[in-house]
Structure 1
Amino acid sequence: MSELAGEVPDDVEAVRDALIEWYEDDHREFPWRVTEDPYEILVSEVMSQQTQLGRVVEAWNDFLERWPTAADLAEADRADVVGFWTSHSLGYNNRAKYLHEAARQVTEEYDGEFPDTPDELQELMGVGPYTANAVASFAFNNGDAVVDTNVKRVLYRAFDVPDDDAAFEQVAQALMPAGESRVWNNAVMELGGVACEKTPACDGAQCPWREWCHAYETGDFTAPDVPTQPSFEGSRRQMRGKVVSVLKEYDKQALDDLGPRIRVDYAPDGEYGREWLRGLLSDLSDDGLVDVEERDSEGDGEGEVVARLRR
Structure 2
Amino acid sequence: MTAEAEEWALPDDRGAVREALIAWYEEDHRDFPWRRTDDPYEILVSEVMSQQTQLGRVVEAWEGFLERWPTTAALADADRADVVGFWTDHSLGYNNRAKYLHEAARQVEEEYGGDFPETPDELQELMGVGPYTANAVASFAFNNGDAVVDTNVKRVLYRAFGVPDDDAAFENAAQALMPANRSRVWNNAIMELGGVACEQTPACDEAGCPWREWCDAYATGDFTAPDVPTQPSFEGSRRQFRGRVIATLREYDELELDTLGHRIRVDYAPDGEYGREWLEGLLTDLESDELIELERTGDGLVARLQR
Give 3-state SS (helix, strand or coil) of 1:4's partner: helix
Measure the CA separation in 1 of the matches of 2:60 and 2:14: 38
Q: Equivalent residue for 1:179?
A: 181
Give CA deviations for 1:116-144 in whole Å, capped at 9, x if unaligned.
00000000000000000000000000000
Structure 1's consecutive aligned runs of 4 or more residues displaced over 6 angstroms after TM superposition are none
Shift in Å at residue 5 of structure 1? 4.5
1:105 aligns with 2:98: no
Shift in Å at residue 150 of structure 1? 0.2
Give 3-state SS (helix, strand or coil) of 2:85's partner: helix
Aligned partners of 1:6 and 1:162 also within 8 Å: no
Q: Equivalent residue for 2:221?
A: 219
The counterpart of 2:163, out of the listed 161, 167, 170, is: 161
Change (3 A) 1:153 1:81: same
Aligned partners of 1:98 and 1:125 also within 8 Å: yes
The counterpart of 1:66, out of the listed 45, 65, 68, is: 68
- Between structure 1 and structure 2, the one with the greater Rg is 2
Consecutive unaligned residues in structure 2, runs of 5 or more = 230-307
Change (3 A) 1:65 1:94: same
> For residue 195 of structure 2, what is the amino acid of its counterpart?
G
The counterpart of 2:123, out of the listed 101, 121, 124, is: 121
Aligned partners of 1:146 and 1:185 also within 8 Å: yes
Shift in Å at residue 4 of structure 1? 3.0
> For residue 62 of structure 2, what is the amino acid of its counterpart?
W
Aligned partners of 1:74 and 1:107 also within 8 Å: yes
Q: Equivalent residue for 1:80?
A: 82
Aligned partners of 2:152 and 2:199 also within 8 Å: yes
Measure the CA separation in 2 of the matches of 1:45 and 1:124: 14
More relative contact order in 1 or in 2 (CA 8 Å, sep 6+)?
1
Q: CA RMSD in A?
A: 1.4
Aligned partners of 2:155 and 2:227 also within 8 Å: no
1:204 aligns with 2:192: no
Q: Equivalent residue for 1:18?
A: 20
Give 3-state SS (helix, strand or coil) of 2:6's partner: coil
Give CA deviations for 1:243-272 in whole Å, capped at 9, x if unaligned.
xxxxxxxxxxxxxxxxxxxxxxxxxxxxxx
Length-normalised TM-score, structure 2: 0.72
Give CA deviations for 1:86-124 in whole Å, capped at 9, x if unaligned.
000000000000000000000011000000000000000
Q: Equivalent residue for 1:91?
A: 93
Give 3-state SS (helix, strand or coil) of 1:91's partner: coil
How many residue pairs get matched? 227
Shift in Å at residue 7 of structure 1? 1.8
Measure the CA separation in 1 of the matches of 2:8 and 2:201: 22
Length-normalised TM-score, structure 1: 0.71
Measure the CA separation in 2 of the matches of 1:71 and 1:6: 49
Measure the CA separation in 2 of the matches of 1:203 and 1:226: 19
Measure the CA separation in 1 of the matches of 2:19 and 2:98: 38
The counterpart of 1:131, out of the listed 122, 133, 157, is: 133
